[in-house]
Structures are given as C-alpha cells and as structure tokens.
Amino acid sequence: MRPDLTTVVGGMAQREALAALLTPPLVETGAAGPRVRVDLVACPTCGAPADDRPWTPPFGGTFEHGPLPVLSMLACETVTARSVLPIVVAAERFPELRTARFQTRALTWLEVAHLHLDKALEAIDAAERWVTDPAETDGRTLPASTRRHTAAVAWPSYRRDLVPSFLSPHASVPDEAEGHYAAELRAAILTNRPRQD
C-alpha cells in the first residue's frame, strides 16, 4: 500500500480506537441515558429500504422526540453502541451539538467514492476530525467501522456479516487497506486502553 494511504488509513483507525475508549457518561440505575436518534437511508447499492427497525439504547428510532443528535446510516449497515460515544460525549459537552446531524462513513463514502481512493479517504478523514476538534464544521462523519445489517439466519451468511469494514458494507477498497486498518485499530486500542492497576 502506498505510504500516503498507509498514513491516512492508520490515522482513521487510531481515531476510531480513541473514540471507542471514551468514558461513557454516568447514568443512574434505572434512569434513561443519552440517546442518538437513527435516521436510516435507503441504500443505492443493494436496495435496502429505509424501514425502521427495533433499537436499543443508546440508539433511538423515529419514535423518539425531543432534542437529540441524529445519526444517519445506510439501511443495510449497523454500528456498535460504543461507536456512538463521540456523539454522546460531544452532545453532553457542547450544547450546539445536542441536535446536530452526523453520518456514518458509509454515507460519506457514497459522496466521495467517485474520487480516486486517496482523495476519497482524505475527504472522509477530514470529515471526522470533529471528534478531536468539535468546533470543526467541515463534516460530522462518525469514525466507526461498519457491518452489514441483515436478517440472515444461516451461519455462513451471519459469520460473513460479522466481519467489519472500516468504510462501508459496499466499499471497494484493497484488502490490504482493510487489513492495515484492522491491525492499526487493534494496536491503538491496546496502546491506549486504561490500565487496570
């Protein structure tokens, strides 16, 4: 992989690791914790419709009312609960982000995939820098890997869908980029995880 791609992909992996290691807000037992409303977008690649699905906290569906940050994602993808910590933490610290709109990398990828791979990755990298600089307004892309969301019950299909992609369920990126991202993500989590003394 070219050195410039290695640097961008590694930086994105490190950002996801640091975001995943954020401390969640303290919520009293039995109290409702912070939520992020999900806005599903029909997928132009596989045709998955934007039907609502059941959500568990911290995700909320279209039934949620009140001032909530919104995460738009493809109807065919899913992200982990921990991956939305940057949104939850930012909304708690910055009142102007309590109703902000965010989107997954998969949606940003759809906007920039027509560019050469290096330019597309640079655009996604720039769009998720708000995590370290919340005043950044160039984009609000969530720095999180994604998995396919399917109702498949056959084990081979389910096992295949468990494998995340750092960009999209439909991203066409070199396998070495996915491999490099996974290795950098693991290393960053091990390096930055809190010590258990």
Please indicate, yes or no, if residue 197 is contained in any of the structural domains: no
Give me the pLDDT at residue 156, please.
Answer: 66
Give me the pLDDT at residue 114, please.
Answer: 92
Q: Residue for token digits 């599903």? A: 40
As a whole number of angstroms, the distance between CA 114 and CA 175 comes to 19
Tokens linked to 165: 């992609």
Give me the pLDDT at residue 16, please.
Answer: 96
Give me the pLDDT at residue 15, please.
Answer: 95
Q: What is the 3-state secondary structure (H, E, C) of 121-163?
A: HHHHHHHCHHHCCCCCCCCCECCCCEEECCCCCCHHHHHHHHC
> Where in the sequence is the domain holding 43, given as residue range(s)?
3-23+34-192
**Which residues, including other chains, have CB under 8 Å from residue 68's CB and lie 6 or more apart?**
35, 36, 37, 60, 98, 99
Q: Residue for token digits 């295949």? A: 160
Please indicate, yes or no, if residue 28 is contained in any of the structural domains: no
Please indicate, yes or no, if residue 183 is contained in any of the structural domains: yes
Tokens linked to 51: 């039907």
| pLDDT tens-place string over residues 138-151 | 789 999 999 888 76
Asked whether 107 and 146 are in contact (CB, 8 A), the reply is no
> For the chain, how many structural domains are there in total?
1
Please indicate, yes or no, if residue 40 is contained in any of the structural domains: yes
pTM over 0.85: yes
As a whole number of angstroms, the distance between CA 126 and CA 157 comes to 34
Please indicate, yes or no, if residue 29 is contained in any of the structural domains: no
Give me the pLDDT at residue 174, please.
Answer: 86
Please indicate, yes or no, if residue 179 is contained in any of the structural domains: yes
Please indicate, yes or no, if residue 106 is contained in any of the structural domains: yes
Please indicate, yes or no, if residue 162 is contained in any of the structural domains: yes
Give me the pLDDT at residue 136, please.
Answer: 64
Tokens linked to 32: 């409702």
3-class SS at 113? coil
Longest CA span, the chain: 50
Give me the pLDDT at residue 30, please.
Answer: 75
Give me the pLDDT at residue 34, please.
Answer: 85
- Which stretches of the chain drop beneath a pLDDT of 70? 61-65, 135-137, 151-162, 195-197
